[in-house]
Structure 1
Amino acid sequence: MSPSVTVRPAREDDAAAIRRVAHAAWHATYRDVFDEARIDEMVEEGYARDVLTELIGLDEVGLFVATVEDEVVGYASCGMTEVIGVGDLDIYVHPDYWGEGVGTALLERGHQHLADIETTTIRDEVLVANEVGNAFYEKHFERVGQRAVEFDGIERTVNVYEASVEG
């Protein structure tokens, strides 16, 4: 039986829990792509308390957490990109909760936020090597192409996904 998932806006006191989920999810997802030290560095940079505090305070950015029995087990970050009408939605779930509906609950809340800020399309890119992320996006989005991106001085391929936002 799937756990009962609650999704709510992130609060400043969620920062440590979001970092914990990011650390576990990034290591499980990218361990065959980046070395452990680089993953730790990326999580430390991208999920520093001041970065998360700033995101939480921005109305145009939705930062949401998914909880099971009051424990943060996933998060989503979403907002408008530079292209008017196009939004971005990043979802990470603790590996212990993969396949339990947590990502789908976060996706639904992200869709709602993006509709509220008048986006019409979600466009996301997922490293081809991210099997879990691609499996999730394949269920909920249309893959519209691939492109090469440079990451850490190495050219890597990403799948590009899109979905319509309905208000």
Structure 2
Amino acid sequence: MTPSVTVRPVASFAEFRAGSRVVRLAWRAAFDHIISEAALPPTELDEDRASELKAAYETASAANESHIVAVADEESADTGGAVTGGESIVGYARGVWDPVRTESFAADDDAELRALYVRPDHWGEGIGSALLSSLESNAPAGVDRLALQTFADNEDGCAFYRTRGFEVVGENTYEVGDESYPTVVFAKPLEAE
């Protein structure tokens, strides 16, 4: 059964932390054939990483970023350990609007889609599309395109972005641990409102 899902901005550190867990779970499921087991993130945070996450949350609230979550009510979702106040965080996305903070593959008038992840037990339910749509519709004035990079070997991710109007605009690399992995850079023009 597909849960009832609401997409909205992150409302608390607990939701931000639950979103971080969604990212870690999705990385482990989606990229286990691309990067080594040792480089995959752990499913749970140690205390040092939890402190880093708290600092990132405090910084993000003051930056030109958008952090959104897909929230399923607990009654209709298998919580998978990412529950906050009777709700389950099943997806997380992050958009960066500041040209000083976006990666080098993004032009000055681009926004960067820095993260878009859905808990693996909820793949195929339209949650990723809903998160993407929310980021696109809430991009600030003056942002012409949404740009992102994903691993070149991430066939499912590449297909997801292509079917949602993104086109390949370049190649790059991404460092994980001591390894460098080839990436594909996608971009999509945003509709002017």
The two structures have a TM-score, normalised by structure 1, of 0.84
- Give the Cα separation in 2 of the matches to 1:63 and 1:117: 18
**Counterpart residue number, 1:7:** 7
Asked if the contact 1:61/1:77 (under 8 Å) is kept, the reply is yes
CA 133–53 in structure 1, closer or farther in 2 if over 3 Å, else same: farther
Query: Which one has a bigger Cα radius of gyration?
Result: 2
Which residue, 62, 67, 70 being the options, matches 1:66? 70
Q: How large is the RMSD of aligned CA atoms in angstroms?
A: 2.5
Deviation at 1:147, TM superposition (A): 3.3
SS of the aligned residue for 1:105 comes to: helix
Which structure 1 residue ranges, 5 or more long, are not aligned?
Answer: none
Q: 1:129 and 2:146 equivalent?
A: no
- Give the Cα separation in 2 of the matches to 1:111 and 1:29: 23
Q: 1:146 and 2:146 equivalent?
A: no
- Give the Cα separation in 2 of the matches to 1:18 and 1:112: 20
- Give the Cα separation in 2 of the matches to 1:52 and 1:25: 20
Asked if the contact 1:2/1:101 (under 8 Å) is kept, the reply is no
**1:84-139 CA-partner distances (Å, limit 9, x unpaired):** 2111112111111111110011001101222x243111111111122332121111
Deviation at 1:148, TM superposition (A): 4.1
- Give the Cα separation in 2 of the matches to 1:123 and 1:26: 20
More helix as a share of residues: 1
Deviation at 1:58, TM superposition (A): 2.5
- Give the Cα separation in 1 of the matches to 2:89 and 2:19: 7
Letter in 1 for 2:7: V
Asked if the contact 1:73/1:97 (under 8 Å) is kept, the reply is yes
**Counterpart residue number, 1:159:** 184
- Tell me how many residue pairs correspond in the alignment: 165
**Counterpart residue number, 1:85:** 109
Letter in 2 for 1:21: V
Which structure 2 residue ranges, 5 or more long, are not aligned?
Answer: 74-86, 101-106
**Counterpart residue number, 1:76:** 93
CA 149–9 in structure 1, closer or farther in 2 if over 3 Å, else same: closer
The two structures have a TM-score, normalised by structure 2, of 0.74
Asked if the contact 2:39/2:176 (under 8 Å) is kept, the reply is no
- State, as a whole percentage, how many aligned pairs show the same letter: 29
